[in-house]
Amino acid sequence: MRALDLIVKTRDRGILTAEEIRFLINGYLDGSIPEYQISAWLMSVFFVGMDAEQIGHLTREMIRSGDTLRLPRRDIPYVDKHSTGGVGDKVSLILAPAVAACGVPVPMMSGRALGHTGGTLDKLDTIPGYSTHLSPDEFVSVIEQCGFAMTGQSDRVVPADKRLYALRDVTGTVESVPLITASIVSKKAAEGAQALVFDVKCGKGAFMKTIEEARELAESLVSTCRALEIRAVAVITSMEAPLGYAVGNFLEVEESLAVLRSVDADPRSRDLVEVTVRLGSWMLVAAGVVPDVAAGEKMVRDALTSGAAADVFRKNVAAQGGDNSKLDAMLGTFRPKIEETVTSDADGVVVGIDAFRVGMAGVYLGVGRSVATDAVLPDVGVVLHVKPGDRVKPDDPICTVFAATRDAAARARQELDGAFDVASDREYEPKPIIREEITAL
């Protein structure tokens, strides 16, 4: 068997067998197949795609490339959620404790910010003492203590994905649905999750800009999970505007805590709550705890309104080394030295807030990363004072910028100046934030 033959076979739309895909992955990892040949194969996949069977073979080989987490057997299956990334997406911080409070264990391996999209680990790192680097034994112990745990991916889990992603990143092959699918599902399967709920974002602030692109990825994720005998649901949600009102690492922790303490107190968080409750309900359905989504939504909302989810969150902070007292003291006070308010220059209705532009403003402030090695700042960001559908007059505050330097604030404000669409000649037409749902349960 030769790598060249498999490159040509893929290029010519041939179907690779499990053995052939294993040969490519193992050869890349052991050095017997050079990067230039794997790059050529990745580009072939990028242009011609893969069918569901090949994606399943690739995902299995990526899982086998490293360690898999052995979670203790339980009567209720372990369920995790994965988001394809968005702006203001702090769903995991509310969702994990809410679902855990309903009795479903949540093993969550999360990522960091890249580009205009935020990362859960960067948010958690702002909590004093909180450890996002748990050993497998610590990960299991935290789940046993409070029902969920959050950690970063170990280098020993799916090393093939790390190697392949680095190569895709420099060869123009990132935006490939088969390769994205194998990357996501392999990591989630290796962490021990028995059921998965995917939040596939679509819109200006998402990697998938159109509903058609999002649907293609959602269907691929669900079908691959089906091949691996993992129960799965993909929920396509809108990312035209930022989710909630906070964009920034600690700012998003603050908003999450506000929702956990009083779920309906701030109308600016209404979309965040809607997405969280819907995803949580599907996690409960996937775990077999409730018979349908309606029952799941009630159970998740009850966990939020009763304070049970907030209690689980605080238990998790303590279990992962965090200091709840210091966290409480930071609320409303942990801010950088520069604070600037952006005001409206128009009279009318906010008909849109461009999530991508708000996300890029965050990158300029230090919320996100342009490249994976960039550092992020914990206290900077943007707080929205209005959401789509709100009325504004000239000089009304529409958002506040929190910055470390005047230059960063100025760059962010330039981006934000074009982010708010205020119309005096048309009404706001709300669109559903939950767009479509695809299941394999």
- 161 is a catalytic site residue: yes
- 82 is a catalytic site residue: yes
CB 227, CB 420: distance < 8 Å: no
CB 416, CB 401: distance < 8 Å: yes
Catalytic residue among 44, 183, 256, 344: 183
What are φ and ψ of residue 82, in 5° steps? Answer: -130, 130
Catalytic residue among 81, 82, 204, 435: 82
Catalytic residue among 112, 187, 268, 411: 187
Q: How many CB atoms lie within 10 A of CB 324?
A: 15
- 298 is a catalytic site residue: no
- 220 is a catalytic site residue: no
Nearest in space to 255 (alpha carbons), one of 383, 406, 69: 383
CB 77, CB 232: distance < 8 Å: no
3-state secondary structure of 118: coil
Amino acid symbol at 313: F
- 187 is a catalytic site residue: yes
Q: Round to whole Å and give the CA distance between 78 and 291.
A: 17
Catalytic residue among 80, 161, 199, 354: 161
Q: How many CB atoms lie within 10 A of CB 43?
A: 18
Catalytic residue among 112, 168, 278, 387: 168
CA–CA distances in Å: residue 198 to residues 77, 195, 205, 231, 394: 16, 10, 17, 11, 40
Give the single-character DSSP code of 435.
E
Catalytic residues, which ones? 82, 161, 168, 183, 187
